[in-house]
Amino acid sequence: MNIIVQGPQGSGKGTQVEKLVQKYNLKHFDAGSLLRKEASEEIKKIMDKGELVPQYYVKQLVEKFIAENPNSGFVFDGYPRTIDQYEELKTILQNKIDYVVNIEISIDESVRRLSLRGREDDKPEAIKRRLQIYHTQTHPVFEKAVAEGIGFEVNGEQSIEQVFADICRKLI
Ligand code: AMP
């Protein structure tokens, strides 16, 4: 099973992804963490501003991760973030994407939760930019998945257990 999990920054996506990985024995592709670990100083500057890094860079990471984990199911977290990346992932996986889950929280709640963290890219300007990119470029991926019949949404403003139960109920 291959699942893409989306949600605005601060939606609790990371927690839900960890739970999915455990329960369904999937491999976790975490674009942001991998980039923070592997990126050059030049790429890190882009990240600190809240901008997306070049697509070829993320593509290399995802291809390597998939190749290193043959015969696995995956949860994709932080990727794809644009329609182009979504189409790219479909090609890489030969269209085997089962679900695109969107964890929905309001913009106000997202900003509130993010301000409580404190990463370099959690500064107010970068937060704003990341949310703007999320709404203009990433959310359309979910809309496309809904049109394709594989997208569903859960309410992220509930307890961790309730959000997880809502997700699992939709996975066959
Ligand atoms: P995240 O931890 O998912 O919030 O990602 C942190 C930062 O890494 C983002 O703000 C982007 O700068 C970069 N990044 C993560 N995933 C991607 C992606 N799929 N495409 C481009 N940039 C990304």
Ligand 1 atom nearest 80 alpha carbon:
19
* Short-list 91, 98, 85, CA closest to 141: 85
Q: How many Å apart are CA 132 and CA 18, to the nearest integer?
A: 26
* Short-list 36, 24, 95, CA closest to 61: 36
- The binding-site residues of ligand 1, defined as CB within 6 angstroms of any ligand atom, are 9, 31-32, 35, 46-47, 50-53, 58, 78-79, 81, 85, 121, 130
Phi/psi of residue 158, nearest 5 degrees: -135, 180
pTM over 0.85? The answer is: yes
- Name the pairing type of β-strands 74-77 and 99-104: unpaired
**Token pair 């991760």 in the structure block, residue:** 65
SS3 label, residue 51: coil
- Identify the residue whose C-alpha is closest to ligand 1 atom 4: 32
pLDDT tens for each residue of 140-167:
999 999 999 999 999 999 999 999 999 9
2-170 belongs to which CATH class?
Answer: alpha beta
Ligand 1 atom nearest 31 alpha carbon:
16
pLDDT tens for each residue of 10-58:
899 999 999 999 999 999 999 999 999 999 999 999 999 999 999 999 9
Mutational test site, ligand 1, from 35, 58, 59, max ligand atoms within 8 Å of CB: 35
